A = this chain, B = another copy of it.
Amino acid sequence: MGIRAAVAGASGYAGGEILRVLAGHPEFEIGTVTAGSNAGRRLGELQPHLRSLADRTLAPTTPEALTGHDVVFFALPHGESGAYAGLLGDETLLVDCGADFRLADPAAWASFYGSEHAGTWPYGLPELPGQRDLLRRTDRIAVPGCYPTSVALAMFPALAAGVAEPDVVVVAASGTSGAGKAPKPHLLGSEVMGSVSAYGVGGVHRHTPEMEQSLSAVAGEPVTVSFTPTLAPMSRGILATCTAKARPGLTAPRLREAYAAAYDGEPFVELLPEGTWPATAMTLGANSALVQVALDERAGRIVAVAAIDNLTKGTAGGAVQSANLALGLPETLGLTTIGVAP
C-alpha cells in the first residue's frame, strides 16, 4: 500500500508535472485528480503525455474530493489553496505549489497579490540553511516559486557567507510553460518562437518579495532584489543570472569556497566545474539545479548563475523532494538528477 496522493489542479502544466513525477515514484499511489472547468474530462485529453494515467477522470476540485488522502498537492491558481487548508485535517500532508502560503509578511502579500493573506507555511527549499530540518517536522509545505528557487540557489551561498552586498540584481529567462496553459495571444507559438521578450519589468513581478524574503533570512539583514523576468523560446527551463557587489577584499577562491561548502553533499544542486556554465537543457525533466559563480574583479561584482527546469526542481520535483522529507522518506526517492538531453 503506497502513500495516497491527490492532485488538485491536474489539468495545468504544474499539475501535469506533479503527476509525471508521482508516477515515477516508488512510494506514491495516485488517488483523486481534480480540475476546475475541465472536471469530468479524461486526463488523456488534457495531458496526452501521461499515457499510463490517460483513463483517469478529473473530479471537480472540492474538499470532499480531496479528503481521504495522505498527501494533497495543490496546483491551483494563486489565492485558491487557502480555502482548503482548514478543511483538510492535520493528518494530511498539504503541499501547496501556489503562492498562498509562501510570504511571511501580510503587507508584502497584499501589495503584490492584492487579496487576503492565507498564512505562512514552511518554505520547501531544503537547501536553504536550517530548512531541511524544518521540513522533516511539518505537515504543511509552501513550495517556492520557480524563479525564487533559481535565485535562492544562485545567491544564498554568497549572502550566507557575508561576501556579497545585500543589493541583488536578477535577470532571468524562463520557458513559456511558466506562463501556464491558458491560451493568450502573446504565448502563441508564432509569437514566442524566435523571440526573447521582457515582461513584468521594474520590480513588479510577484516573485520579487519571495526572493527578498529567503535571501534576507540567510543574509541576516534586509536584501533588496531588482528582478527582471524575460520569456525565452523554449517550453521549459529557467536561467537566472544574479549579481551583487562583492564585499571588499573578496577573492575568487574564497567565493568559490563559499559555494562549494554550501552545496557539498547536496543531492540536487551541483556547483559546476570551474569554467563551465549552466545550460537549462541539461536539467530538462530532472530535479537538478546547476550553479556556477564568478568574481568580476573589474566591476567588483559577484555573478552567479543557476539553471533549473521550472516545472521540475522549480515546482513539482521540489514539491516531492520536500514531501519526501515531511513523510520520513529518503529525500531523493523517485527523483532523478539526469536531464533529458539533447
Q: Is A217 an interface residue (CB 8 A)?
A: no
Which residue of B196, B230, B232, B341 is within 8 Å of A16 (Cβ)? Answer: B341
Cβ of A173: which chain B residues have Cβ within 8 Å of it? 173, 196, 230, 232
Min CB gap A162→B, angstroms: 20
Which residue of B226, B235, B270 is within 8 Å of A296 (Cβ)? Answer: B226
Q: Is A185 an interface residue (CB 8 A)?
A: yes
Min CB gap A216→B, angstroms: 13
Q: Which residue of B lies closest to A285 (CB)?
A: B340
Main secondary structure of the interface of A (DSSP, over half): mixed
Known contacts: A169-B243, A189-B176, A197-B279. The answer to whether A44 contacts B273 by CB under 8 A is yes
Cβ of A280: which chain B residues have Cβ within 8 Å of it? 194-197
User: For residues 227 through 245 of chain A, which have their beta carbon under 8 Å from a beta carbon of chain B?
Assistant: 228, 230, 232-237, 239, 241, 243
Min CB gap A164→B, angstroms: 13
Q: Is A129 an interface residue (CB 8 A)?
A: no
Interface size on A, residues (CB 8 A): 91
Q: Is A258 an interface residue (CB 8 A)?
A: no
A residues at B contact (CB < 8 Å): 13, 16, 20, 23-24, 44-45, 47-53, 167, 169, 171, 173, 175-177, 179, 181, 183-185, 187-199, 201-203, 208, 224-226, 228, 230, 232-237, 239, 241, 243, 270, 273, 276-286, 288, 290, 292, 294-301, 303, 305, 307, 336-342
